[in-house]
Amino acid sequence: MLSGRRLDLLDPTPVDIEIADIAHGLAFVARWNGQTRGDYAYSVAEHSLLVETLFGRLCPNATAAERLTALLHDAPEYVIGDMISPVKAAVGPGYEELDKRLSAAIHIRFGLPAVTPAKQKKQIKKADRISAWMEATQIAGFTEAEADRFFGRPDAGVTQGLAIRLRPPVEAREEYTTRHAELLAQL
């Protein structure tokens, strides 16, 4: 990693996890395999920031730890990349197991439970699907009817005032790192 840490992907440990590495990697990983409108790819870092915001709107009484978990929901992608769901399914259970091991190490590193409780995971997934709907309609060329079919139409109140942001990776990385620090300070 750029931090100098050596991360064993098959047996990751919390001591080898650094937020700077996560933020940097996620800022350069493109969602939608880069097939989006705009001058910059829509990064997993941007997506994660949006999911954490949406999660906060869905769960206004969420703790800082729960919001941090939402921010880190795709953190393993800093080293394993982002794959669209059909590809993940085709790769099989090996990808899912790798993702789970990395998630556990990341969560432990930042003082979170290794496994996200099912109820919280469901709410984060809901925020993730709302984000996907927004991305699909705003930058990935889907009609609203197509996005509704794939992701379900979100409640307009949850998305009110939010828009997809396309910006240089360094800006996404900085905001991700800043938000992580804010949430960590509240634990």
**Cα end-to-end distance, the chain, whole Å:** 26
Distance CA(8)–CA(31), nearest Å, equals: 24
pLDDT digits (tens, 9 = 90+) for 64-114: 999 999 999 999 999 999 987 788 888 888 888 999 999 999 999 999 999
**Residues above pLDDT 70, as percent of the chain:** 100
Rounded to the nearest integer, the mean pLDDT of the chain is 96
pLDDT at 17: 98
* Structure token pair of residue 143: 């009609």
* Structure token pair of residue 93: 């259970």
What's this model's pTM, rounded to 2 decimal places? Answer: 0.97
pLDDT at 136: 98
| CA neighbor of 73 nearest in space, from 40, 120, 29 | 120
